[in-house]
Amino acid sequence: MHKGLFYLAVQPGVPGDVTEVAESLREYRDWFIELAAESGAAAHYTTILVLFPELPPDKVSGIIDGAQDLLKADYVSHGLMIGEFHDGPPAKPGLWNPGFRPLRSPVPLLAMRHMVPTDFPFLKDDPEYLAQYLDRYGRDLPPQVAQDAMAAAREFGLEALLATPGEAGGV
């Protein structure tokens, strides 16, 4: 927030369906990319939250989770992450504490940010997502995910995206 790279947007009203939300979020993705490009060295701090305060409780999960599902591949291909937050709470546990539910929010929203090396757990189960991740970070995996990332790379035949032992930054 201190860097001026944290943005909030409000989508008023109730969207007709998940496709409508996905289309509007593609525009936010383009804006995000533009904002990050203008931010120089601080670009990795760029974050946009798109809030849906009028979304009725019975539509929250379908719209928010559905839009995130529809958009994730597109966002990942741009080196971005899109996360779903609502009062569900989504059943996904915290990365390092299974009892913590970090995706809980009193206002339904979708959040976008840059992909970071510790995003491996969000990407490991899909070969396309994993390939995108390894293409970016496979030569310098964070220690807390290195072993699991190497195993996932072997499982999906993506070993070529990893550094070999002894290479600079190798695992």
Domain positions in the chain? 6-115, 117-171
Is the model more confident about 134 or about 40? Answer: 134
pLDDT higher than 80, residue 150: yes
Burial track 88-125 (b if 16+ CB lie within 10 A, e otherwise): bebeeeeeeeeeeeebebeebbbbbbbbeeebbbbbbe
- pLDDT in the model for residue 163: 67
pLDDT tens sequence across 100-147: 877 889 999 999 999 999 999 999 999 999 999 999 999 889 999 999
Is the model more confident about 54 or about 166? Answer: 54
pLDDT band at 89 (very low <50, low <70, confident <90, very high): low
The percentage of residues in the chain with a pLDDT greater than 90, rounded to a whole number, is: 74
Q: What is the pTM of this model?
A: 0.87
pLDDT band at 27 (very low <50, low <70, confident <90, very high): very high
Residue among 80, 87, 111, 102 at smallest CA distance from 7? 111
Q: How far apart are CA 28 and CA 108, in angstroms?
A: 16
- pLDDT in the model for residue 96: 75
pLDDT higher than 60, residue 45: yes
- pLDDT in the model for residue 169: 45
pLDDT band at 166 (very low <50, low <70, confident <90, very high): very low
